[in-house]
Amino acid sequence: MKTDRIIAGTLVALCFASVITGFIFQKNSNPTNAKSNSFSWSDSSFGIKKADIAVIDISGPIMYSESNGFGSSGVNANDIIPMLEQIKKDKIKGIFLRINSPGGTASASQAIYEKIMFLKKNSNIKVVSFMEDIAASGAYYIASASDVIYANPSTLTGSIGVIMQIPNYTDLQNKIGYQTNTIKSGKFKDIGNSSRKMTDDERTLLQNLINDTYNEFAKAVSKGRKLSIEKVKQLGDGRIYTGNQANDNKLIDKLGSESDAINELARELKIDGEPKLKNYSKASWEKLFGGLSSKSVITGTVFDSPEFSASFNKIPLTLYK
């Protein structure tokens, strides 16, 4: 009986002690408290102190979709844009983008880029990006909105360009005797139909569409990186660069680690000591239960890819990949 009491008492005391300790330490870690600003745990949303830097993970294919569930992969513009709005509401003055993505759809990448540029202009928010394994195409589009881009020497980046791929199954269908009857209201209504060869008019139309989207991409990179449009187009022929090459070509600003990037942002924000980070991409209960829904059963598979989404919806897709 005595042991039971000791165990129960210890458990309760430990719970209270940990929370009170957290509360006190966090209060002490507030930089506004000049006497005691030495304590802080990296990447922690731990306490009363307001976060100095917001962290957003751009990880996986970028696209518009329903809100991502727990355990799902990819970057959903419908999640990222509200996160950016929340950061503005929380009056956080620095955003750290942790990027590891091969790219994604044109509109989703553009929307995130535009939102970041808007926040930089209207709310005076500083943005620093760090590229992990890969930050290509649409991911580079987003990164180019940053004030400073960091990457590892062997990070793969670049791939500035737009691609649309439409398969042609005509020969295969002829072999198996499969035919499609198309009834349409206009000559371009079945553009991208895989059951027939593409016409010259369709090719011209799609090429113009790709060129227009590419020009938008190039203009965005030119504006974000402060490079001439000619220079961006010269570098942006779709090739990929290592971090080293990107640094030589001014596609990124510095080679370094994630902590170098965070420290640079902290310096820009004039934060004394270690900055307090808050990750806005954190898993939440909504995500956990969202992940248990039937939608998320197929996440991370081919069904979740932008290509599948586009072909399923019969939409010609422009991709930054």
Partner 1 sequence: MNMLDNIYGVLFKPNTTFSELSNRKYFASSFLIIFLLALLTSVKDAIAYNSGGLSVLLLMIITFTFYMFVWVISGILLTFTSDLFGGSGKITDTLIGTAYASLPLIFVAPLYILSNVFGDHSNEIYSLIKLVIYLWFATLIILSIKYSHKIHVTQAILSFISIFVLFIVSAIGISTISVLGTIFIATNLL
| Cβ proximity of 152 and 255 under 8 Å | yes
* Smallest separation, CB 57 to partner 1 (Å): 8
Position among 172, 283, 297, 298 found at the interface with partner 1 (CB under 8 A): 283
153 binds partner 1 (CB under 8 A): no
Cα distances (Å, whole numbers) of residue 97 to 131, 146, 178, 260, 313: 8, 8, 49, 13, 31
Residues numbered 86 to 125 that lie near partner 1 (CB under 8 A) are 90
Cα dihedral 63, 64, 65, 67, rounded to 10, equals 100
Q: Which residues contact 48 (CB under 8 A, 6 or more apart)?
A: 23, 26, 27, 30
13 binds partner 1 (CB under 8 A): no
Position among 44, 100, 244, 309 found at the interface with partner 1 (CB under 8 A): 44
Binding mask 63-82 for partner 1 (x = CB under 8 A): -------xx-----------
7 binds partner 1 (CB under 8 A): yes
What is the spatial distance between Cα 23 and Cα 12, in angstroms, rounded to a whole number? 17
308 binds partner 1 (CB under 8 A): no
Identify whether 137 is a catalytic site residue: yes
Which residue out of 184, 187, 189, 282 is catalytically annotated?
189
Cα dihedral 14, 20, 26, 28, rounded to 10, equals -120
Cα distances (Å, whole numbers) of residue 83 to 97, 115, 188, 200: 12, 10, 38, 43
Position among 30, 123, 173, 249 found at the interface with partner 1 (CB under 8 A): 30
Position among 124, 167, 179, 285 found at the interface with partner 1 (CB under 8 A): 285
What's the chain's Rg over C-alpha atoms?
24
Which residue out of 29, 65, 129, 137 is catalytically annotated?
137
Question: Reduced to 3 states, what is the DSSP secondary structure of residue 254?
Answer: strand
| Cβ proximity of 278 and 95 under 8 Å | no
Position among 5, 121, 175, 314 found at the interface with partner 1 (CB under 8 A): 5
Residues numbered 239 to 258 that lie near partner 1 (CB under 8 A) are none
* Smallest separation, CB 48 to partner 1 (Å): 5
26 binds partner 1 (CB under 8 A): yes
18 binds partner 1 (CB under 8 A): yes
| Cβ proximity of 104 and 139 under 8 Å | yes
Identify whether 185 is a catalytic site residue: no
| Pairing label, strands 75-76, 62-63 | parallel
Identify which of residues 73 and 284 has a Cβ nearer to partner 1 in the complex: 284
Residues numbered 287 to 306 that lie near partner 1 (CB under 8 A) are 288
What is the spatial distance between Cα 46 and Cα 295, in angstroms, rounded to a whole number? 33
Identify which of residues 48 and 315 has a Cβ nearer to partner 1 in the complex: 48
**Residues forming the active site:** 137, 189
What is the contact surface with partner 1 in residues (CB under 8 A)? 1, 4-5, 7-9, 11-12, 14-16, 18-20, 22-23, 26, 30, 41-51, 55, 70-71, 90, 278-279, 281-285, 288
